[in-house]
Amino acid sequence: MKRLLRVLIWCALGGAALAPSWGQNLLLEDYRPPVSSARALRLNLDLDYAAGGGEPSSNRSNLFALYRYFYDSLPFAYFVDASVDAARSSGATERVVIEASERARAFVYKDLFGGAELRRSYRSSGPDAGGQANGSIGVGYGRFINATPLAKAARMEDTLLELGLLRDDLPAETMIELGQIIQRESEFKEQYGDTFRQEWFKAMERAALESGMMIEPELGAAALLKMDETLLRERIFDRYFGWEVSLSVGSDLFPFEKLKEGGRVLVGAYRLAKPLGWRMQWNETLSLQSPMNEHFGESLRFSVESEFSYEVSNRIDLIFMHRLNASREPDETGAFENAVDSRLQASFTFFIENALTLNSSAFWSSEGGSRNQGLSLIFGYRLF
C-alpha cells in the first residue's frame, strides 16, 4: 500500500511537470458570471464476485445514485443533494439507504447571508432502520462560484492554439465572455433544439473573432470538430472558488421523540474552495459542534475534510481525500471519552467518455485501535 501511494504521488508530480499551462492572462478566480449554477446526476455500480472450490466466497453488488444541484445569484442561493444507495450481499440482509438535503440562503448585505437546511434519511435495515429528519438555521459570510465554464474556455483556447488558429492567448475579457457563452449551453439547447451546436459555436466564434487574435475569419470544420470533442465529449473536473464561515443551530425533527428530548446543537463551520492554477483544486471543510445542554462547551465533535484534485490529462484525474473526526463526549457514567478516526483515499478517475468513468482507488483508515486498507474499482455514469 505504501508503495502504491508513492507511485500515485510520483505520477502526479510527473504529470504536473509535463502539463501545459492554460489561461496565461487570467485566473479562475477572475470569473464573475451573473448566475452561477451546476447540476449533476451520477450512477455508480460496484460488483464483487469471488469463488473457490466451485463455491462462491463473495457475491456483493452495490448501486449508488447521486443528484446535485447548485444555484447562486444575488440575492438568493440554494443547493439540493439527493442520493440512493442499494447494497446486496449473499448471506446478508439487503440494505437500502436514501438521503436528501436542501439548503437555501438569502444574501442580506454583500456576502452576509441567512440560511436554513433540511436533511432527511431512510434506512431499510440495521440498528438505525427507519426514517430520520433534522434541520438547522443560521447566519454566515462568504460565497462560492462555479468556474468550470471558464476552465472549459481555457481548454478550448489551448486547442485553438495547437491548431494554429490564434496569434496569441485570448484577452482576459474574451475568455470570460467565452466562459459565459459556454455556461449558457442549456439556453441554446432550449432555443434551437437538436441544432443548438451550430448557433452555440457561432457565438463563441464571434467572441474570439472580436478579440483580434484569430488568424482566419472563421474557425473551419477541423476546429469545430475539436470544439465539439472538447466541450461535449471530454470531461472537466468541477472547479469552484470561494470561502464561507457560518454559525447555525440544528435540531432533530423526526422521530418526534427526539424532538421532545430537545437535542439541539450549535455548529460552527468553515468551507474553502481554492483552484491552484488551471489543473489543480483544493477543497477544505472544517466543522465544530457542541450540544446546547448542560455539557455545552465540554462535549465536542470536530471534523476536517480535505480534498486535492489534479487533472493529469484531458481524461485522467488524480484525487486525494482525507477525513479526520475527533470527539469528546460523556459516557453512561458521565465521564468524558475521547475518540479519533481518520481515512485517507487516493484515486484515479478515467473519463472513458464524457458520461462514462472508471474509478480506481485505494484507502487507508483507522478507528480506535483498528487499521483497515483496501482497493476498489468502480464504473460510473453521469446522466447530465
Which stretches of 124-263 are assigned E, i.e. beta strand? 130-146, 240-254
Q: What is the total count of domains within the chain?
A: 1
Q: In this structure, is residue 20 part of a structural domain?
A: yes
Q: Is residue 270 part of a domain?
A: no
Residue 267 lies in a domain: no
- Which range of 9-18, 32-41, 323-332 scores highest in mean pLDDT? It is 323-332
Most distant CA pair in the chain, distance? 80
Q: What is the mean pLDDT of the chain?
A: 83
The pTM score is 0.74
What is the rounded CA–CA span in Å between residue 289 and residue 338?
15
With CA atoms as reference, report the closest residue to 246 among 339, 156, 144: 144
Q: 21 pLDDT exceeds 50?
A: no
Average pLDDT value for residue range 152-157 = 90
Residue 252 falls inside a structural domain: no
Whether residue 41 lies inside any domain: the answer is no
Q: How confident is the model at residue 22 (pLDDT cuts 50, 70, 90)?
A: very low
DSSP states of 97-120: EEEEEEEEEEEEETTEEEEEEEEE
In the block, residue with C-alpha cell 485566473 = 27
Quick check: is 303 in a domain?
A: no
Q: Which residues contact 195 (CB under 8 A, 6 or more apart)?
A: none
128-145 tens-digit pLDDT:
788 889 899 999 999 888
pLDDT at position 327? 95
Paired with 378 in beta bridges are 359
Model confidence over 250-260: pLDDT tens digits?
A: 988 887 665 55
Domain range enclosing 194: 2-32+147-233
**Quick one: what percent of the chain has pLDDT higher than 70?**
84
Q: Are 213 and 206 in contact (CB under 8 A)?
A: no
pLDDT of residue 221: 84
pLDDT, tens digit, 9 for 90 and up, residues 226-245: 888 888 877 777 888 999 99
pLDDT band at 55 (very low <50, low <70, confident <90, very high): low
Is 361 contained in some domain?
no
**91 lies in some domain:** no
Q: Is 23's pLDDT higher than 80?
A: no
